[in-house]
A = this chain, B = another copy of it.
Amino acid sequence: MDVDVPLLVPSEARETYIQNYRLITKNSGNLMLFAGDQKIEHLNDDFYGADIHSDDNNPEHLFRIAREADVGCLAVQLGLVSHYGADYPDITYLIKLNSKTHMIKTEQMDPCSCMITTVEDVVRVRDTGRVNIAGIGYTIYLGSEYESQMLVEASRAIAEAQRSGLVTVLWIYPRGKAVKNEKDPHLIAGAAGVASALGADFVKVNPPKKEGANPAELLREAVHAAGRTKVVCAGGSSVDANVFLQQLYDQIHVGGCAGNATGRNIHQKSREEAVRMCKAISAITIDNASVETALNIYRGN
């Protein structure tokens, strides 16, 4: 697989970047990202409750799944990696740099998620050599009254991370009083274009919706608008396994996405089931498997 190296990666970090890109895409060019960063964004709502397996309330659950399922990368805050990473040296990590809670609703205040971890600290932990950190992530709420701060932090973090050979992933969600329809495919394509102008390697967007349209087809505008920045998508809230896997398959094969970023649909299950789900997702994302094959993996057949 050839990796396109951005110019913000200096020659001395080139090999590191290529290696990191290969790691998180498992040499497929497609991102297999397991998202475990919701402890701040959603507090304990995603980890404890009626339809959530009790395993999920332990942060170590994420690490156990990631190791066993051999994901492309586990996206979490640096604090978790700091406490668990040394015991899970085989996992590839992607550090989420910014976070906020969901406690304040848009009616009260537009969303602002600030950079709580510096790229410098990420690199410092990586350079201990005791843990495998391959990238960084940042979430932008486009259209928020605080959009400026997030655009600035994201853009500069990308430059700084790529300078150290790290791969960069943006999550971009239109949100704020000015946003009428967060799922508008044209708006989501705009978000993908912003990621491209910021020089991100990957951008995670929410699945677009439009009455009467195939959601996967709606992604095409975004995928083209993003150019060499690869688009990933996924399910959001937890849904039925075969619906989820079909969606993912379509996002890739119809919509043109390059992988997935999946959280709740994996970790809210028991470890054993979560690992099977992870492997099913990997089969589609990395190994180009059919939905049927993936479902068989998930079902343990």
Contacts and interface: CB of A to CB of B under 8 A. Distances in A.
Interface stretch (A117-125, A249-257, A275-283): A117-125
Given A77-B197, A193-B43, A199-B77, A60 B114 contact: no
Contacts of A116: 151-152, 154-156, 198
B197 A228 contact: no
Interface in A128-172: 128, 130-131, 142-143, 145, 147-149, 151-152, 154-156, 158-159, 162-163
Contacts of A57: 189, 221, 224-225
Contacts of A198: 40, 77, 79, 116
Contacts of A124: 8, 10, 163
A48 B6 contact: no
A82 B43 contact: no
Contact of A178 (B7, B105, B118, B158): B105
Report how many copies the assembly holds: 5
Interface string A83-106: 111100000000000011101110
By Cβ-Cβ distance, the 10 closest A-B pairs, closest first, are A79-B199, A43-B190, A103-B143, A59-B227, A116-B155, A6-B82, A39-B193, A44-B190, A77-B197, A39-B197
